[in-house]
Amino acid sequence: MIVAERKPMAEIIGMVKDCKKVLVLACRGCVTVCSAGGEREAEILSSLIRLGMKKEGKSVETTIGSLVRQCDREYIDEIDQWKGQYDAVVSTACGVGVNFISNLRKDTMVYPALNTTFFGGSSEQGEWTEQCAGCGDCILHLTGGLCPVARCAKSLMNGPCGGSVDGKCEIAKDVECVWQSIHDRLCSFDRSAQMEVITPIRDWSTAGHGGPRKTVRDDLTV
């Protein structure tokens, strides 16, 4: 899922300081699962916006809405049901949602309530860790299913580096060295020889270094 976390309240209050009516718009997709921008978090944020504005001597009316997702055209259209009830939208979706609303609603000012952080999974309750960098050229079949692009601090293609000690990365004692994990996992499948294969210099154009990425499926376009 896409993992995100709420922005500092001072930043959010700064966005809406001139608004009289705000639509706090939750997303029932990834950010609900990672407890950053679902309906519950939108309710909390609404209350904090009202309190924060009141502290600044201003009043603001908040409406809470939610969409199935904010990353599909058909769901964005549902914003019309709150027409006239807001000066601006504070979206608790990831950055994709904020962009989609901006793309599709030319007359709607939309502000991001979240910092979108990474593609990850819930490693334990209340904790999410980065697992994928969305680099566009997956090599997981060569690395035992563990991603060095996302999980190695240096995104090394030929690791581990000299900073790997006792299975931990040199950046912090609680960060695994994913190359140690890759080694251990390949060994467990009797594929340690894969560690000897030198991965050549990588073409990073698929990772966004070649500009914004786009996927077109001809079989789905009519």
Partner 1 sequence: MSFDPAITLFSCHYTSQQSCAEEGNELEQLGFPSSIRLVRVPCTGKLQVTTLLQAFEDGADGVYVVGCPADGCHNVKGSVRAAKRVAAVRAALEELGVEGGRVEMYHLPRGLHPEFVEKGKEMDGRIRDLGPSPF
10: phi then psi, degrees, rounded to nearest 5:
-60, -40
Position 55 contacts partner 1 (CB under 8 A):
yes
By C-beta, is 20 or 54 nearer to partner 1? 54
With 0-12 CB in 10 A as exposed, 13-18 as middle and 19+ as buried, what is 188?
A: exposed
Position 161 contacts partner 1 (CB under 8 A):
no
Point out which span in 48-56, 79-87, 152-160, 162-170 binds partner 1 (CB under 8 A): 48-56
Q: How far is the CB of 87 from partner 1 (least distance, A)?
A: 21
Q: For partner 1, how many residues bind (rule: CB under 8 A)?
A: 14
Position 14 contacts partner 1 (CB under 8 A):
no
- Indicate the helix (H) or strand (E) that contains 40: helix 39-55
By C-beta, is 8 or 212 nearer to partner 1? 8
* 125 closest CA partner among 43, 35, 39, 37: 35
Three-state DSSP class for residue 136: coil
Position 9 contacts partner 1 (CB under 8 A):
yes
| Binds partner 1 (CB under 8 A): choice among 18, 44, 68, 171 | 44
Tokens 């960098």, residue?
A: 133
By C-beta, is 35 or 194 nearer to partner 1? 35
With 0-12 CB in 10 A as exposed, 13-18 as middle and 19+ as buried, what is 102?
A: middle
* 150 closest CA partner among 175, 131, 174, 173: 131
Q: How far is the CB of 58 from partner 1 (least distance, A)?
A: 12
Point out which span in 49-57, 92-100, 132-140, 144-152 binds partner 1 (CB under 8 A): 49-57
Position 54 contacts partner 1 (CB under 8 A):
yes
Point out which span in 38-46, 70-78, 180-188, 206-214 binds partner 1 (CB under 8 A): 38-46
Note whether 92 and 31 are within 8 A (CB).
Answer: yes
